[in-house]
Amino acid sequence: MNLRNAQFIKGITGTSDIINDTKYQIAFVGRSNVGKSSLINSLTDNKNLARSSSTPGRTRQINFFLIDQKLYFVDLPGYGYAKASEKQRGKIRGMIVWYLTYGEVKLRKAVLIVDAKVGLNKFDLEMIDLFRNEKINFLVVLNKADKLKQGELFKLKKEVEIMLKEDGVKVIPYSSKNPKNKNELSREILC
């Protein structure tokens, strides 16, 4: 599959415009400002495909990107942004949960993106519980891996792998600035 053959299809904020054709969907999930959009841009070699910003909370809709006319990458809004109002955080969380549990979506996998500098937090653990409860196949990306020393990154990866051992979840360190694990990550996302 050619990940470079990617195009933005649409963004939605409500349930009526969901894409539920026969194509599989890969959901990119994570906290605000963890690098979901940048990761999609890195995987597709198109820095302008998904809008990214250094300002947390910019993505406030579910964005669909068609990959090689075969499947969708789905960029979900970030959760847990502290400066958002309680109402806005609740709306975003509701949108994420709705998408992940909506029976009509052909969700192949969720990619949980974790900031390697921070590690798993309570919001990430809630998502993992949701994946388990809904039997959603997922993998964990330790994003911004370039910000850690090799020893710190190795330790974090081992801790997360031990925590998720019974799930058989793959944990992959990644950096959009130095994407040395790009082929491994692409394979895991698409398998």
Domain parsing of the chain, residue ranges: 6-190
- CATH 3.40.50.300 at 6-190, yes or no: yes
For the record, the structure tokens of 67 come out as: 């990959």
Q: What is the pTM of this model?
A: 0.92
Closest alpha carbon to 25 in 78, 65, 77, 79: 65
Beta bridge partners of 29: 112
The overall average pLDDT reported for the chain is 89
Portion of the chain with pLDDT greater than 70, in percent: 93
Asked if the model's pLDDT at residue 12 lies above 80, the reply is yes
- How confident is the model over 98-140, as pLDDT tens digits? 889 887 788 899 999 999 999 999 999 999 999 999 999 999 9
Mean pLDDT value of segment 38-60? 80
* Strands of the 107-115 sheet, one edge to the other: 6-12, 62-67, 71-75, 24-30, 107-115, 138-143, 171-173
Please compute the mean of the pLDDT values over residues 172-187 and round it to a whole number. 91
